Structure 1
Amino acid sequence: MAETKGARMPGRCTLIEHDADVPMRDGVILRADMWRPDDEVPHPTIVFRTPYGKAGCLRLDTLSPADCAAAGNAAVVQDVRGRFSSVGEWRPLHWDHEGLDTVEWTAAQAWCDGNVGIAGTSYLTWDREAAGLRLRMGELR
């Protein structure tokens, strides 16, 4: 996993870690970039899961990973199964437990304070809703 020091925000520097392996319950590895303030403090984290490539989240007209880090949060930007740097077979508009597995993985990281949100528009909204339904069904606190 490569690390990059991002652009300096007023009073803070952003650490970007590229292509972290995020294991799914079926053994498939999905890859994610993490954006976070460059400090040792755990932060609330926003998850973005996308079939458009992780770099595409940098151009969102709404919330972006850079916005998250600038506000003192972390962000996880993940390529969905079978797209770009993630392995497996891509099945459009088909979600198993990938969103939930990603939220659980994120919450367990040392740089996350256990508070995880999910954001996105377009396909990312459908993915967010699928994970949210599983959360409401009691599969995650």
Structure 2
Amino acid sequence: MRIDWDIPIVMDDGLVLRADLFRPGVEGRHPVLLSYGPYAKGLAFQDGYPSAWQRMISEHPEVGSASSGKYQNWEVVDPEKWVPQGYACLRIDSRGAGRSPGRIEHFAPRETQDLYQSIEWAGVQAWSSGKVGLNGISYYAINQWHAASLQPLHLAAMCVWEGAADWYRDMTHHGGILCTFWANWYDMQVKTVQYGLGERGPRSRLTDLAVCGD
């Protein structure tokens, strides 16, 4: 498996997003599995969510089969499972998170445009077959709906897992009852990996780079 760390993807306003690319070691054009979100591509699942990791591999040991687990991230595909099947896996830190600079605006038109442009960028790379699939859970699923509404030419498939579509019913008031998830989510899962933390934030166990920008 070939890995390219911190690939630059330039947006139409000049901002540079950063992505990690996992692809087969042999030259060729491969279908792309793309994810774009705020949880920091450089943060290992085991480091960011240790209790969830232990529970997952304990209750679902098949997750650890045919994989070292060292490339696992929160709520995205494991490249050690997909790259051997001929796919390229592209993980992008969303604007303002991880190693991508800028201002975080969750689910805003700017973020949707960033994902749209990332899909179109991935579709024309030399290592790409031109077909891009979106895959991921929760945040990585919700933004699939938004990007798809712009009808990117190279979007060929979507796997929307736990992707809310109705802000009131699915996110803030389940069955009409107030959900407190959002009150805790930002502080626990986003601010901890916001771009600019640099040396105050975690380091990647794979590259030793600061997970949240230099």
User: What TM-score do the two structures reach when normalised by structure 2?
Assistant: 0.54
How far has the Cα of 1:26 moved from its partner?
Answer: 1.3
2:94 matches 1:80: yes
Structure with a larger share of its residues in helix: 2
Match of 2:14 in 1: 27
Q: Say which SS state the counterpart of residue 54 (structure 1) adopts.
A: coil
2:146 matches 1:130: yes
Alpha-carbon distance between aligned partners in 2 of 1:16 and 1:107, rounded to the nearest angstrom:
18
How far has the Cα of 1:66 moved from its partner?
Answer: 2.7
Alpha-carbon distance between aligned partners in 1 of 2:98 and 2:24, rounded to the nearest angstrom:
26
Alpha-carbon distance between aligned partners in 2 of 1:37 and 1:85, rounded to the nearest angstrom:
24
How far has the Cα of 1:16 moved from its partner?
Answer: 0.7
The correspondence for 1:111, drawn from 117, 120, 127, is: 127
Mark the CA change 1:61 to 1:92 in structure 2 (over 3 Å): closer, same or farther.
closer
Contact 1:65 1:77 in 2 (8 A): no
Contact 2:17 2:101 in 1 (8 A): yes
1:130 partner amino acid: H
How far has the Cα of 1:59 moved from its partner?
Answer: 3.6
How far has the Cα of 1:67 moved from its partner?
Answer: 2.1
Q: Say which SS state the counterpart of residue 93 (structure 1) adopts.
A: coil
Contact 1:31 1:86 in 2 (8 A): yes
The alignment's C-alpha RMSD in Å is 1.8
1:17 partner amino acid: D
Match of 1:45 in 2: 32
Match of 2:118 in 1: 102
Which is worse superposed, 63-72 or 117-126? 63-72
How far has the Cα of 1:61 moved from its partner?
Answer: 6.2
Structure with a larger share of its residues in strand: 1
Mark the CA change 1:132 to 1:65 in structure 2 (over 3 Å): closer, same or farther.
farther
Mark the CA change 1:59 to 1:88 in structure 2 (over 3 Å): closer, same or farther.
closer
Alpha-carbon distance between aligned partners in 2 of 1:88 and 1:65, rounded to the nearest angstrom:
27
Match of 1:69 in 2: 83
Structure 2 stretches lacking a partner, 5+ long: 46-71, 155-214
Count of aligned pairs: 125
User: What TM-score do the two structures reach when normalised by structure 1?
Assistant: 0.81
- Structure with bigger gyration radius: 2
How far has the Cα of 1:50 moved from its partner?
Answer: 1.7
Contact 1:65 1:76 in 2 (8 A): no
Measured against aligned partners, the alpha-carbon deviations of 1:112-135 in whole angstroms (never above 9, x if no partner) come to: 010111111111111211111111
